[in-house]
Amino acid sequence: MISLSHLRKFKEQGRKISCLTCYDASMAKAMELAEIDSILIGDSLGMTIQGHDSTLPVTVADMAYHTSAVRRANQHSFIMTDLPFMSYATLNDALSNARTVMQAGAQMVKMEGGEWLSEIVQVLTRNGIPVCIHLGLTPQSVHVFGGYKLQAKTREAADQLIADCKAVVEAGAALLLLECVPAQLGKEIAELFPNVPVIGIGAGVETDGQVLVVQDMLGLTFGKVARFVRNFMKEQAGETAIMDAFKAYHVAVQDQSFPAPEHSFQVEL
């Protein structure tokens, strides 16, 4: 089973980390066989599984249910679970809800935010709960952003995001996830923290790993497709096409053929 120490070692070795979202046992088993490094039980299930138009309606009980299903089927991948909207608004909420998803099978919890999360990160870490902080485009704050848009497009905004990263890492964050930021910024942040893996989604090829929503990379997105998505399914054929798509993604992340320039945002900061 891949652990947090493995992910740190991968970064030290320059070996890229593959990560996909997953919500059920059958997909989890296919990802195990494809040797995907990490699985994120994301609150994206609100849209991909439950049919909502955002992640906001997802509950902690939902996250625990899907985490336990994935964990039972996959004993290889490192498993992270989102703490959903408003489930970590207070320190007590964060402790209680993190305990719930960890007991369901998570190895790490993920929260969206910046410096303001530092105290929560510190307390969770002290209590044996590894934390990933999601920065850049954070879907739980979509109404604040006014939609799903590229973040940190100016040097000032990039420096503020870096300051947030520094604050949560100093508090004990063990992993960072950057969404929808310029490729240059993804590279800067990955280089800034030698002991903290940085996973990107729409953050360029030079982060320490990549994550995609599994439905997106299998071509099951109906409507507008985000710039940073690549359909790995259409490159496969036959009875094992889904597993082959997972394997192709894992290889493409490691050999850095994904994300290509067309999947990244090039902004001069």
Per-residue pLDDT reduced to its tens digit, 167-188: 999 999 999 999 999 999 999 9
Reply yes or no on whether 188 is catalytic. Answer: no
Lowest mean pLDDT among 32-41, 127-136, 140-149, 255-264: 140-149
pLDDT value at residue 250: 98
Lowest mean pLDDT among 121-135, 196-210, 227-241: 227-241
Q: Between these two residues, 178 and 268, which has the higher pLDDT value?
A: 178
**Which tens digit of pLDDT belongs to each residue from 61-110?**
999 999 999 999 999 999 999 999 999 999 999 999 999 999 999 999 99
Q: How far is 127 from 107, CA to CA, in rounded Å?
A: 13
CATH dotted code for 4-263: 3.20.20.60
Task: Give domain limits for the chain.
Answer: 4-263
Position 161 confidence tier, pLDDT thresholds 50, 70, 90: very high
pLDDT value at residue 148: 66
pLDDT value at residue 238: 82
**Which tens digit of pLDDT belongs to each residue from 6-26?**
999 999 999 999 999 999 999
**Catalytic pick among 112, 179, 188, 206:** 179
Position 142 confidence tier, pLDDT thresholds 50, 70, 90: low
Q: Is residue 261 pLDDT above 70, yes or no?
A: yes
Q: Is residue 244 pLDDT above 80, yes or no?
A: yes
What percentage of the chain exceeds 90 in pLDDT? 90
Q: What angle do CA 201, 204, 209 make, to 5 degrees?
A: 60
Q: Give the pTM.
A: 0.95
pLDDT value at residue 222: 84
Q: Is residue 193 pLDDT above 90, yes or no?
A: yes
pLDDT value at residue 36: 98
pLDDT value at residue 140: 80
Position 237 confidence tier, pLDDT thresholds 50, 70, 90: confident
